[in-house]
Structure 1
Amino acid sequence: MPKAIKETQFNFPGQQGFYKGKVRDVYIFEKELVVVASDRISAFDVVLPRAIPFKGQVLNQIAAKFLESTSDLVPNWVSSVPDPNVTIGKKCEPFKVEMVIRGYLAGHAAREYKAGKRSLCGVALAEGLKENDKLPEPIITPTTKADEGHDEDISREDILAKGIVSESDYVQLESYTRALFQRGQEMAAEKGLILVDTKYEFGKFGEKIYLIDEIHTPDSSRYFYADKYEENQAQGLPQKQLSKEFVRQWLISNGFQGKEGQQVPEMDDEIVESISDRYIELFEKITGEKFIKADTTNIQERIEKSILAELNQ
């Protein structure tokens, strides 16, 4: 089986800090960040015990493609992608909100609607909607970015009233979010997919707003297959999704949902390989390109060398 990146522990000249996220290792410099997309995988807010070969490469390269293909709409943080698992870019000061945009009543929005709510983040929802119905127009339902615990829904009015984002910046964030989502939906449609909902994160470098983090990946977005959408809705059937939902379903079928006292099921080579294969499928379906596996012989050495070469330029 190919090697996977469980974690990295590099020490680069000029490095000022390090942050280990659920799936990414972030090396902090004075004006830039070096982000290594590891092969760690999380579900139900738990990092699973085994890393998935090529998962980090899949997410890093999908994000790179979509950031590049939307750079005419919104400036983004990326300055280079020197390795299949690495992105280097501007060290922006993140806004403390995530801009979630929804074109359909799915996921969290559908659960809130089913519970009787007809307003989400201050946005009114019509009566008579079914799960996965297309909304009359996309709605923006922001969440706070919590330093600890879970993110929480918040309305535009509360964001402005609490001074979390200035009004002029927030108007720009909304405009960027709608433009990005429209482009994302157009690109998805070309591949026979529907971009259902997604989230964007933004930050400031100096006085300028930049798009940061990954975009339109299966970890940050929900996709439906377009060919059966209308038929499934008419018959009240679930929609076929393109996301990492299959990992959650495998965990659930093996008695794990991240609850206290539950044990993560053993991940043998067969399940690890099958998850890796599915991520590669996701890449090829979303991008329309053939996935080329990076050399994993000396994976840590490869990544370290590529970062050092870029930093020394």
Structure 2
Amino acid sequence: MSLADKVLAVNNDLPIRTDKPIHSGKVRSVYWLTEADSRRLIREKGYPVAEDAPLAVMVISDRISAFDCIWRGEGGMQGVPGKGAALNTIANHWFKLFRENGLAESHILDIPHPLVWIVQKARPVMVEAIARQYITGSMWRAYSKGEREFCGIQLPDGLDKDQKLPELLITPSTKGILRGIPGVPEADDVNVTRADLENNFEAFNFSSKGDIDLYEKLLKEGFDLISGELAQLDQIFVDTKFEFGYVTDNKGEEKLIYMDEVGTPDSSRIWDGEAYRNGEVVEKSKEGFRQALLSYFPDPDILLNKDRMEEREALARDNELPASMLMDLSETYIAIAERIVGHKLNISDNPKAELLEVLKRDYGLVD
């Protein structure tokens, strides 16, 4: 069986018992469990949450999103083989180290299968928490055109592309479209300043102004831990995006926790250390795929210019990419995952049947 046959592209059609609509994002689908099943699993599995906490099964797919579009390849390839397993494996590894090192918890309660998390409901903070250690990507594009202020932070003149920054920068952006915040455009993914967060903390879903300090602390702690671990593998942690939310624990206390995934090649840039010392950037993340897309299409401005979103969506809808582009990304994801965790990944021959069997046999969630 070829790797292409192992792709889990559609993950919102699984017969997991739920009485609510299935939420399907770009990559993950969320199945909210019935109240009875949530209470049963909390009791049977001993999850450290309130007995009435809503739980969900979160299933990752192998779909590939870049420039806010889903891409596919020739020959019926609807995703990147091994991508979901690689991302979950890496995120699970970092979350485990976070716990062992006394950092905040995550929303993940259980990992029944490499493509599946059981999570507790969290109230998300409406901020994409972005940390940057190097000037590259969108920040470099803006800097090279003369911009010097990013999220209220002033950068010095004279920086070079891909240079290490004087300090770790926190450059948050909005998560979703937020309305009625002075000075913040009503659009997804727009940069905001720390002053924006402080002056409108409730609009961003923070419980208190002090939690802005806490989210920055957790972001820096998480970044530093991952950066240090990757440095031991001679890999550079360039920049990343974290997400945060609030949960209530089994003592009734509200806590700020990590949400979604952390430190994966989907949400971060990772560079090869030896190549960088030799003056070359070798991407070990999705950025390589983004660059390949920019080279593949004759008018890359369509992918970079948000005003051309309709054209961009048409590109993704009407074009099958060469299979080699998706397979190159598959090799990148699997290789960096295996390097991080120190063992080979088990890529399932039939991920859908396998995960359903586990959820039926061990969790009683499939009829």
TM-score normalised by the chain length of structure 2: 0.77
SS at match of 1:239: coil
Q: Which amino acid aligns with 2:356?
A: E
Q: Secondary structure at the match of 1:136?
A: strand
In structure 2, the partner of 1:196 is 238
| Equivalent residue runs for 1:42-53 within 5 Å | 42-49=65-72, 50-53=78-81
Instruction: Determine which of 284, 296, 300 is the counterpart of 2:352.
Output: 300
Post-superposition shift, 1:171?
A: 1.1
Secondary structure of residue in 2 paired with 1:25: strand
> Which of 261, 266, 289 in structure 2 is aligned with 1:247?
289
Secondary structure, aligned partner of 1:17: coil
| Structure 1 range deviating more: 47-56 or 96-105 | 47-56
- State the identity %: 32
Taking the TM superposition and a 5 Å limit, the aligned residue runs for 1:165-204 are 165=206, 166-204=208-246
Q: Structure 1 residue 85 and structure 2 residue 132: aligned?
A: no
Q: Deviations over 1:28-84 (max 9, x none)?
A: 235122111111112222111322221111111111111111122111111111101
Q: 3-state SS of the aligned residue for 1:129?
A: coil
8 Å Cα contact 2:284-2:332 kept in structure 1: no
Q: CA RMSD, aligned part only?
A: 2.2
Structure 1 residues not aligned, in runs of 5+ = 233-237
1:220 partnered with 2:258: no
What secondary structure is seen at the aligned counterpart in 1 of 2:146? coil
Do 1:254 and 1:265's aligned partners in 2 also have CA atoms closer than 8 Å? no
Greater fraction of residues in helix:
2
Is 1:67 aligned to 2:77, yes or no?
no
Kept in 2: contact 1:141–1:153 (CA 8 A): yes
Once the two structures are superposed, what CA deviation does each residue of 1:169-227 show, in whole Å capped at 9, x if it has no partner?
Answer: 11110111111111011011011111011111010012111101000000000112112
- The SS at the match of 1:241 is coil
Tell me by how many angstroms 1:269 deviates. 5.1
- CA pair 114-253 structure 1, distance change in 2 beyond 3 A: closer
Q: Separation in 1 of the partners of 2:166 and 2:239?
A: 14
- Taking a change above 3 Å as real, the CA distance of residues 138 and 310 of structure 1, as seen in their structure-2 partners, is farther
Residues 1:310 and 1:176: Cα distance change in structure 2 (over 3 Å): farther
Q: Is the 8 A contact 2:289 2:325 kept in 1?
A: no
Q: CA deviation at 1:5?
A: 0.9
C-alpha distance in 1 between matches for 2:59 and 2:196 = 35
Match of 1:285 among 336, 339, 347: 339
Deviation readout 1:237-279 (Å, 9 max, x if unpaired)? x522211233234433432754615365434555544443332
Contact 1:121 1:142 in 2 (8 A): yes
Counterpart pick for 1:123 among 141, 150, 153: 153
Query: Are 2:182 and 1:152 aligned?
Result: no
Instruction: Give the aligned length.
Output: 306
Distance change (3 Å), C-alpha of 1:74 and 1:248: same
- Residues 211 and 277 (structure 1 numbering): CA distance in 2 closer, same or farther, change over 3 Å? same
TM-score (norm 1): 0.89
The separation in 2 between residues aligned to 1:12 and 1:147, in whole angstroms, is: 30
Residue aligning to 2:315: 262
For 2:322 and 2:315, locate their aligned partners in 1 and report how far apart those are by CA, in whole Å: 18
| 1:282-302 alpha-carbon deviations (Å, 9 max, x no partner) | 3223433322222x23x3222
Contact kept in structure 1, 2:285 and 2:332, CA below 8 Å: no
Q: CA deviation at 1:89?
A: 1.4
The one-letter amino acid paired with 2:255 is: K
Q: CA deviation at 1:308?
A: 3.5
Cα distance in 1 for partners of 2:258, 2:319 equals: 37
Deviation at 1:86, TM superposition (A): 0.6
Contact 2:284–2:333 under 8 Å retained in 1: no
Matched letter for residue 221 of structure 2: A
Letter in 2 for 1:5: L
Structure 2 gaps of 5+ residues are 36-53, 73-77, 179-186, 249-253
Q: How far is 1:13 from its partner? A: 3.1
Structure 2 Cα separation of the partners of residues 265 and 307 of structure 1: 36
Q: Which residue of structure 1 lines up, in the alignment, with residue 138 of structure 2?
A: 108
Change (3 A) 1:227 1:275: closer
* Partner secondary structure for residue 291 of structure 1: coil
Provide the rounded CA distance (Å) in 2 between the counterparts of 1:120 and 1:269: 37
Give the distance between the partners of 2:162 and 2:325, measured in 1 at CA: 30
Residue 89 to residue 107, structure 1, CA distance change in 2 (3 Å): same
